[in-house]
Structure 1
Amino acid sequence: MGHPYSELLKDRPLRLLWGGLTLSAIGSEFYRVGAIWLAVKIAGANSALMITAQAGAMLAVSLLAGPVIETLPRRAFLIWGEILSALVAGGIVLAGLAHGLSFAHLVAAGVTLGAISAMSRPVFLSSLPTLVPGKVREANGLFDSSMRIAQAGGPFLVSLALKAVPPIHLLTVNAVTFLASAASLAWLRRPLDGAGPGPVGAASVLRRLGRGLIAANGVPGVRSVLVATGVRGGAYALGYGVALPLLFAGAHAGLPGLAVVLGVGATTETLSTPLLVLTQPRRPLRRLFEGYMIIGLSLAAMGLAAALLAGAPSIWLVAVLSATAAMIGFGNSVATLQLTSFLASRLDGDDYAAVLRLRYVVIIGSMMLATAAGPALLSRLGPAWTILLCGLAALAAAGPALLARTTAMYGPGFTVR
């Protein structure tokens, strides 16, 4: 019997859909790298506010509009979402070429694309039981691979593309890939609508978050995990997502160097996960916090190295920061793998879903707080020392949790000792 993915990809329409969504995910990486780079060039330290606005839009849409969107025809919604995304990305390029690109343009585009993405992905995932009945787990893995391929390969493709086109046309690539994704969805010509949930109001959303808090308090260690996860999310967003691009904006290596560093980090994370799955830590909750410690130490090392290598040859800067990015990617893989296993093994289905929603809110809220403080921190400390500070913040959140007694109470498979 062949691999489950190869069995799924024998279906031509599904194969086209996977290819279209993979292209779209790669295009989104082009946009992510290109947009933050353009924002840094235009707004400097204030570019952090673009991430703040985008995160706020994603949070609001996920909590309030997402459940309502689930009641709409799914295939039509997904197709028009991709078309609208293409128009937004392409419109930014046209505006930039015709009148000059402004920071306000980038913020508006980021908010719109973030909101569409926050609505579209849950709609697509909820369509899988109808699209591939009986093979949802395999299909989840297949389409998750699209994201991993994009995260690993996208930054390297960006580095190559920059040899032929200016940075603004990274957004053009994204617009084209959105259209390719829309075409693959249209070509599918299969129903995606199943038995969907009814409309959900704001009060219901608040009840779900309340249930998440109760469930988190009922399982030893979950609250510490949420705190460490939130701090790590904010530190990563500001240090890795904003300060690092700002650092390269002032370095000779420029955007190609940044793309290489990001690509090394994402590739290491992608390659580490299937290897880490084969391991069985004796104290898995401790392993989770060790992952966050690795992220914090690596971020701090990245900032310190950047400060010490100021004025050094570009190849040294790219090489050393790539090494620290690889460790950040490895730490992400360690922590994420243990986190999902921990929550899934200690919480039942409804509580698990409630805590996942709460985790999402904590991460996005932390990202908003950290990036909102970004302009002040970056202006006062500079990119290198801001990255170092972000690493120390992640360490400060993970360290006490790592040493707490609750981390020792779980054995292999998160069974209670």
Structure 2
Amino acid sequence: MQFITLLRRRSIGLLWSGLALSAIGDQLYTVALSWIAVDIFGPAAGYIAAIKSAIILAVLFFGGAMSDGWDRRRTMIVADLCRCAVLVLVVLVWMIERQPDAWVLALAVAVLAAGEAFFLPALQTILPQLVVNEPGLLAGTNALLDATNRLARLLGPGLIALAGAIIAPIHFFTANALSFLLSAAAIMGLPPSSTPARSSAAQQPKHPFASLLHGYRTMHTQPLLGFLLDSNAFIGGAWYVAFFLAVPLIISSQFDASLTTGFGLYGLVIAAFGVSNLIANLIVGNRPMPEHPARMILLGVCATGTGILLMALAVLVPMRPHWQLGAFVLASGLSGFGGPFKDVAFATLRQTLLPAADIAPATRTYIVTTHAGMLFGMLVAPMMSRSVSPSDLLLICGGIYLAVAVIGWLRFSR
């Protein structure tokens, strides 16, 4: 398999190991935080995720262009160490006061969001440099590193499903802190990264929003990239509302789960998503980019939306509780199968169709659209929950995915 060949390269193996550890820890933190927030705040827990998206947007707006001149490797290391430090603070305060204080949770969300906003564009810029002499390996490298998130969605929530009944949520925050520390250590072993030369458009004096505008225009020089960028706000917000608000609300009410058993059940649902994510990633990563990538991408979007709709139907259709739970978990697995077919192809197209100097601005623009959708969704969904049920939220989210797939198919299937 191509993955094995890539992992034998020292730089790629180091980067993958660091990202895999931090991604697993991050999933532990995200699932634990989502469950705790829903248990405390109910539907208003969506505002926690809205804070995260707002911080990421603020950092990208005001600090993104400035970071283009930084050493990519050092940026990633500092981002990991800062995220480790704030999680250690959360654990210490939690242990002293015996409960997660709102202010320290908000601080953790803010610092982790800022670290992500600096880390991801630097990562996307480093990847082509790792295979600069063999550009044919770029798609496989993207798939390999994308597999870190897919593997994390399996192992992280899987650990919660197995150990959530006996391990306090605080220790999942501890594990995440350790994972960021190990990730920083792995990235330190990479060779120093070079800073790409700025494009002619980027050499001009810019206000804070100009770099993002440049990235947006660059993406729209390719019609497919432009469509995926614009639609990303809709499906990014729909996915987050579905899995980090509607699903925990359904588990805590529909399945009559206590805090402990419900926490493990929530981990099981996300782990099912992760299993199919990883399988699809292995399929995509070990085949060349198709001649018509739009078809593969849009079929992936359709699969994710169909899975979300089936999760809603599993709750709405009368059936025995065990059958209902099984159908809910299986539908989550189907939803996870579509992600890599879109994400890996989208990342590879950005890195191959755009000039090297424009990859970071384009990636920041992509992250902005994702979190703009998440911010809007997590602000609107708690208000909608007063008049619609969590299963109705799933129906809406699945419908958004299918609408994007249909519109894209009509435009690009030929």
Alignment counterpart, residue 328 of structure 1, candidates 335, 350, 362 = 335
Q: How does 1:52-71 map to 2 (within 5 A)?
A: 52-71=50-69
Partner of 2:122: 123
| Cα displacement (A) at 1:247 | 1.8
TM-score (norm. length: structure 2): 0.81
Preserved contact between residue 61 and residue 212 of structure 2 (Cα < 8 Å): no
* Amino acid aligned to 1:43: F
Q: Which residue identity is paired with 2:8?
A: E
Q: Is the aligned partner of 1:168 residue 2:170?
A: yes
> Using the alignment, how far apart are the partners of 1:224 and 1:75 within structure 2?
31
* Residue matched to 1:370: 377
Amino acid at match of 1:58: I
In structure 1, distance between residues paired with 2:193 and 2:359: 24
Q: What is the letter of the counterpart of residue 274 of structure 1?
A: L
Secondary structure class of the residue paired with 2:343: helix
Q: State the 1:236 CA deviation.
A: 0.6
Which residues of 2 match residues 278-357 of structure 1 at below 5 A? Answer: 278=287, 284-308=293-317, 312-313=320-321, 315-340=322-347, 356-357=363-364
Q: What is the match of residue 92 of structure 1? A: 90
Shift, 1:74, TM fit: 5.5
- Tell which deviates more after alignment, 367-376 or 214-223: 214-223
Structure 2 CA distance for aligned equivalents of residues 90 and 79 of structure 1? 17
Contact 1:22-1:146 at 8 Å conserved across structures: yes
Give the whole-Å Cα distance in 2 for the aligned partners of 1:6 and 1:338. 20
Deviations 1:283-338 (A, max 9, x none): 6434433332332232122123223359x53x434321221112211222333345
CA contact (8 A) 2:84 2:181 kept: yes
Would the alpha carbon gap of residues 384 and 128 (structure 1) be closer, same or farther in structure 2, given more than 3 Å must change?
closer
- Whole-angstrom distance in 1 between the partners of 2:7 and 2:266: 34
How much does 1:368 deviate? Answer: 0.9
The equivalent residue for 2:395 is: 388
Task: Report the Cα distance in structure 2 between the residues aligned to 1:17 and 1:305, rounded to whole angstroms.
Answer: 40
Write the distance in 2 (CA, Å) between the matches of 1:337 and 1:73.
25
Q: 1:264 corresponds to which residue?
A: 272
Displacement of 1:378 in angstroms is 2.2
Q: Is the 8 A contact 1:287 1:335 kept in 2?
A: yes
Contact 2:121 2:363 in 1 (8 A): no
Query: Contact (CA 8 Å) 1:299, 1:390: kept in 2 or not?
Result: yes
The one-character-per-residue Cα deviations of 1:312-368 (angstroms, maximum 9, x if unpaired) are 53x434321221112211222333345456666766666776655433322221111
Aligned to 1:249: 252
Partners of 1:288 and 1:17 in 2: how far apart?
Answer: 26
The worse-fitting range, judged by mean Cα deviation, of 204-213 and 97-106 is 204-213
How far does residue 208 in structure 1 lie from its aligned partner after superposition? 4.0
Q: Structure 1's 93 and 308: CA in aligned 2 closer, same or farther, altered over 3 A?
A: farther
CA deviation profile, 1:263-294 (whole Å, cap 9, x unmatched) = 11122122113324648878643443333233
CA distance in 2, matches of 1:231, 1:96: 36
Whether the aligned pair in 1 keeps the contact of 2:68 and 2:195 (CA below 8 Å) is: no
Give distance in 2, aligned partners of 1:162 and 1:142.
29
1:119 Cα deviation after fit: 1.1
Cα separation, 2, equivalents of 1:132 and 1:223: 26
Partner of 2:48: 50
Q: Point out the more displaced range, 129-138 or 235-244.
A: 129-138
Asked if structure 2 preserves the Cα contact closer than 8 Å seen for 1:42 and 1:103, the reply is no
SS at match of 2:167: coil
Letter in 1 for 2:393: T
Q: Which residue of 2 aligns with 1:407?
A: 412
Deviates more, 1:262-271 or 1:68-77: 68-77
Between 1:129-138 and 1:266-275, the stretch displaced more is 129-138
In structure 2, how many angstroms separate the alpha carbons of the residues matched to 1:309 and 1:297?
A: 19
**What's the offset of the Cα at 1:83?**
3.0
2:192 is matched with which residue?
A: 192
Please give the alpha-carbon distance, in whole angstroms, between the structure 2 residues aligned to 1:200 and 1:245. 47
**Which whole-Å CA distance do the structure 2 matches of 1:217 and 1:132 have between them?**
26
Give the secondary-structure state (helix, strand or coil) at the position aligned to 2:386: helix
Give the TM-score, by structure 1 length.
Answer: 0.81
Please, what is the CA RMSD of the aligned residues? 3.6
Deviation at 1:152, TM superposition (A): 2.7
C-alpha distance in 2 between matches for 1:155 and 1:372: 25
Deviations 1:129-154 (Å, cap 9, x if unpaired)? 77787478476665444333323322
SS of the residue corresponding to residue 237 of structure 1 reads: helix
The alignment status of 1:273 with 2:281, answered yes or no, reads: yes
**AA aligned opposite 1:109:** A
SS in 2 for 1:101: coil
Give the aligned partner of residue 109 of structure 1: 108
Distance apart, 1:103 and its partner CA = 3.9
In 2, the alpha carbon distance for the partners of 1:17 and 1:390 equals 34
For these two proteins, the number of residue pairs brought into alignment is 400
Q: Distance in 2 between matches of 1:284 and 1:326?
A: 23
Q: Contact 1:228/1:398 (CA < 8 Å) preserved in 2?
A: no
Alignment gaps of 5+ in structure 1 = 411-417
Alignment CA distance shift 1:343-1:91 (3 Å): closer
Distance 1:142 1:194 in 2: 22
C-alpha distance in structure 2 between counterparts of 1:302 and 1:62, whole Å: 34
Secondary structure at the residue paired with 1:156?
A: helix
Q: Which residue of 2 aligns with 1:415?
A: none
